[in-house]
Amino acid sequence: MKSHWFHLMPYKYLPEDFPQKYSSVWVDVPSQLYDPVKGHEIYNEYLDELEYADRVGFDGIIVNEHHNNAYGLMPSPNIMLACLARRTNTAALTVIGNSLALYNPPVRVAEEMAMLDVISGGRFVAGFPVGSSMDTNFAYGQTPATLREKYREAHDLVIKAWTSPDPFIFNGKYTQLRYVNIWPRPIQKPHPPVWIPGGGSVETWDFTAQNNYAYAFLSYFGYQPAQETMKGYWEAIDRNGRDRNPYRAGYLQLLAISETDAQAEKEYAEAASYFYHRCLHVPDYFAVAPGYMTLKSIKALKSPFSFENLGKLKWKDFVDQGYIIAGSPKTVRERLSQVVKEMNVGHVMTLLHFGNLSREQTMKNTALYAKEVMPYTKNLWNEWEDHWSPKPLEMKQRAKAAAL
């Protein structure tokens, strides 16, 4: 099993009464709440945490793209990976992702991702999300009903730009280019591995299976509802004639590790509350714009999608219902191993920083996972070959990274 260190980079200084005073953390949250001086501090703090994950042996580090929000301060995750490409040595560098439909023209994604693959020596993993409704429809003004069609056309253009040896003409519905001819080209052939982040749309499962990509399920609602989602994904894999290789799947899980189960509550309860009550304070009218989700996916949902119920939950709810796997290293590794086996997941995206967790506590959480959990899970799925991790240059071929 591969362990990846996932960072959201939230803004840590939202007021305590934020949920009562402001309607949403996304789209229309007043930017006057943002202090750039504090932002300078936390960007560098967060980059330190990601670099530390590489040093202690995580298989990968992951960043992501969001707009108009205090939940995740990465409107350009490629900038973050550019910083990390020169300050890390072995971890896969994954961007989940670039929301393809937001780029005009989409070859910008092909160019920047190729740059990241080359700078890192072939350690790059490309994530292609459709993008949340908050980011795509409300922040960037994309039409919900045509978003997926535009996304798929952009995807086809990026893949062709990476794999065609000569300049070509692209005459699509949304993008027309006389000369597609990207420089540089990626190191990995035919192109970097592709992960498709998703929240449970049926079309995303089939698209992932048809293209032989990996599916990265992003959910903050824990492993209980995730089991149903992953069941649907593996059924899509079956109907598309693919094997059930666990490395086709990734799953995001919040983790809170301390010396004992009781100590974990003392150390992480406040940050969990900040994350679920402030960072995920999103009204339903922003979460799913009309037309964003297809009728097929709406019918497939077992329960309504809503962030609004999160405000009622406390630490015990988060732990008992699987939103967070928390406790001693023994407790965490046993529960995580069980979840991974039940969902047949080969890539675990660990959220070891969440909410307003301090740098010190984040480093402790990371170190405990690396020393007391990861060694017990890394041998899972050894009978399978991982085709969805990068294939970097040999160390002797790589430029030496900056001293850490």
- In this prediction, residue 348 carries a pLDDT of 98
User: Mean pLDDT throughout 349-367?
Assistant: 98
303, pLDDT greater than 60: no
Bridge partners of residue 327, in order along the sequence? 257
User: First and final CA of the chain: distance in angstroms?
Assistant: 27
- Identify the band that residue 200 occupies on the pLDDT scale cut at 50, 70 and 90: confident
User: Mean pLDDT throughout 387-404?
Assistant: 82
Residue 404 lies in a domain: no
User: Mean pLDDT throughout 190-203?
Assistant: 91
- Identify the band that residue 305 occupies on the pLDDT scale cut at 50, 70 and 90: low
Query: Which structural domain range is residue 276 located in?
Result: 2-397
Residue 378 lies in a domain: yes
- In this prediction, residue 97 carries a pLDDT of 85
The percentage of the chain sitting over the pLDDT mark of 70, rounded to a whole number, equals: 97
Give the other-Cβ count within 10 Å of 159's Cβ: 17
CATH number at residue 64: 3.20.20.30
**CA 359/CA 89 separation, integer angstroms:** 22
| Mean pLDDT across the chain | 94
User: Mean pLDDT throughout 328-347?
Assistant: 97
- In this prediction, residue 234 carries a pLDDT of 97
- In this prediction, residue 290 carries a pLDDT of 87
- Compute φ and ψ for 21, nearest 5 degrees: -95, -30
- In this prediction, residue 118 carries a pLDDT of 97
Structure tokens at 313: 């939950």
User: Mean pLDDT throughout 21-48?
Assistant: 98
Helix, strand or coil, per DSSP, at residue 171? strand
116, pLDDT greater than 60: yes
Residue 318 lies in a domain: yes
User: Mean pLDDT throughout 128-151?
Assistant: 96
Give the other-Cβ count within 10 Å of 340's Cβ: 22
- In this prediction, residue 402 carries a pLDDT of 55
User: Mean pLDDT throughout 323-330?
Assistant: 97
User: Mean pLDDT throughout 41-61?
Assistant: 98
Residue 165 lies in a domain: yes
User: Mean pLDDT throughout 146-166?
Assistant: 97
Q: What is the DSSP code string of 140-161? A: S---GGGHHHHHHHHHHHHHHH
User: Mean pLDDT throughout 203-227?
Assistant: 92
- In this prediction, residue 219 carries a pLDDT of 84
322, pLDDT greater than 80: yes
194, pLDDT greater than 70: yes
**CA 184/CA 399 separation, integer angstroms:** 17
Structure tokens at 106: 């989409």
Residue 181 lies in a domain: yes
User: Mean pLDDT throughout 87-97?
Assistant: 95
Residue 402 lies in a domain: no
75, pLDDT greater than 80: yes
277, pLDDT greater than 80: yes
Strands 249-257, 60-63: pairing is: unpaired
Strands annotated E in 64-175 = 92-95, 124-127, 168-171
Per the structure, the count of domains in the chain is 1
- Identify the band that residue 301 occupies on the pLDDT scale cut at 50, 70 and 90: low
User: Mean pLDDT throughout 364-393?
Assistant: 97
